[in-house]
Amino acid sequence: MAVTLKSKQEIAQLREAGRIVAETYEVLRPYVVPNTSTAELDKIAEDYIRSKGAKPIYKGYGARPARNGQPAVPAFPATICVAINDVICHGIPSPKQLLHEGDIIGIDIGVLYKGWVGDACVTFAVGAIDSESQRLMEVAKRCLELGIEQARPNKQLGDIGAAIQTYAESQGFSTVREFVGHGVGRSLHEDPQVPHYGLAGTGLRLRPGMVFTIEPMINAGGYQARMLVDRWTVCTADGSRSAQFEHTIAITEGEPELLTLI
């Protein structure tokens, strides 16, 4: 594992990229309403990101040839990833996919600004939602907060995952295992990987200058996932709903700094 520590100047540049991500959520928020298509949300996000001189880093990302008996993966075609109800992550926006009253939708946004990446996710309620979906969202957000609380020098990666897993399971929910947080810098995915489950007191020791995402994906049912034929969209295996919140953070000498804030 080759973790690159970031200087204060580099963290300041990452903060600029993160701010554009945060601003994009505020631009999108009024449009997360019934009868809006996910393609409309995607266009609004892309237009705003480009207006700030940044690029949508997901667009065109991740193409892989067929290998080991697995089919090829096409490049991701959109600016945002959308996750409605039982979708965990990486859903592709579509003009045919309309939001409905009672849905929940996770919107994952990544940008590249002056060579540096910002990456975050927010789950929104579409109109009035049922009490269990509301509780799922609240628990997912609290899981992120608890993970961030552990992101201090001399703590270990396992402390983050354990805090998230313990709380999620205490509330009757589960935390996805197949997708994890990751280092962020000039590339979208760098070391270290940051699981949202695990044992306290294990894993890489945290040091000032580390920058990574914490992005727990919390399921109302089991943690198992299944991938759809588009090779991107990931859903809960049991059809239960899923919610996610994510920030990019920097480890400092004291409190962790959230880089994806306005």
Domains of the chain: total: 1
Phi-psi label, residue 231: left if phi above 0, alpha if psi -120 to 50, beta otherwise:
left
Assess if residue 244 is contained within a domain. Answer: yes
Token output for 183 = 């280092």
The one-character DSSP state at 14 is H
Average pLDDT of every residue of the chain: 97
Query: Could you read off the pLDDT of 85-144 as tens digits, one per residue?
Result: 999 999 999 999 999 999 999 999 999 999 999 999 999 999 999 999 999 999 999 999
Average pLDDT over residues 149-153: 98
Query: Could you read off the pLDDT of 14-57 as tens digits, one per residue?
Result: 999 999 999 999 999 999 999 999 999 999 999 999 999 999 99
Assess if residue 127 is contained within a domain. Answer: yes
Task: Sort 201 into a burial class: Cβ within 10 Å, 0-12 / 13-18 / 19+.
Answer: exposed
CATH classification at residue 120: 3.90.230.10
What range defines the domain where residue 231 resides?
A: 8-61+75-258
